[in-house]
Amino acid sequence: MVGLQPKYSFSNVDIVGDVQYLHEFYSVYLKNERDIIIWLPPGYGNVDRRFPVLYMMDGQNLFDPNTSFIGQDWKVDETAYRLIKQNKIEEIIVVGVYNSKDRMEEYNYFEPTGKRFASFLIRELKPFIDENFRTIAKASKTGIMGSSLGGLFSFQLFWNFPKIFGKAACLSNSFWVNDGEVFNMVNNIEPDLNEKSKLYIDCGSEEKQLIDDYYKMTDALLAGKFKNSLNFYNYLDEGSRHTEPDWAKRLHIPLTFLFGKSRLPNAL
């Protein structure tokens, strides 16, 4: 572990399932600290086996309405627990990474702070999680997910580090950042993807500032790396806006696509 030893604690809030907190997890690369919340699947304490991992941005918005931005969370615990119990997805560990006051810069790999944030995830947090929890560390069992700027950053990490994050779900993406530089990235960088790589992108129909870029990115991906591929899923959520409740409402779709026990059809 690089940096200070984090402080563990268990949650006292009404979250479905078992969670642990790493308080004040320090990053040498960022020179700051943040809380990390780790949700453990129902079978984690009952068997001596390893589990896939999903890293999620904006960790304070995922499980607990008391810490969420608008008092409504993504309901990751309820949704993941339900899908697991229904045998629709693998049992997964979810690692929620709290954001900081530097969210705008951290959630953009095109910025120096974004590159340092990527180093924090890849070289500090992920090794710590793999060492201290029963994870399956390989890329095909490691996903990343976020919304808005978190969606953009998840997309950037998947594209640039496919041997670390083999799965990504990118919701309501801020593809407009840096004058749409992400489109140049897609056109000019050839990621080392394989048959197990999975990418999900979506948008709400009421997200008027994002929907054109959603269609543009969908066309670019289907015309390029993901042409005729079952490893890409795009979804337009009719009536949805740019809010935590809307992301919670459709969370089951990316979870099932990334970690499902059966394939979903492409949603062109």
Instruction: Give this prediction's pTM.
Output: 0.93
- The SS3 of residue 183 is helix
What pLDDT is stored for residue 268 in this prediction? Answer: 42
pLDDT tens sequence for the chain (268 residues): 344 445 555 554 589 999 999 999 999 999 999 999 999 999 998 878 999 999 999 999 999 989 988 888 999 999 999 999 999 999 999 999 999 999 999 999 999 999 999 999 999 999 999 999 999 999 999 999 999 999 999 999 999 999 999 999 999 999 999 999 999 999 999 999 988 999 999 999 999 999 999 999 999 999 988 886 789 999 999 999 999 999 999 999 999 999 998 665 554 4
Nearest CA to 28 out of 120, 131, 125 is that of 120
Region 7-259: CATH code: 3.40.50.1820
**Residue found under tokens 């998840």:** 154
Q: What are phi and psi of 39, to 5 degrees?
A: -95, 130
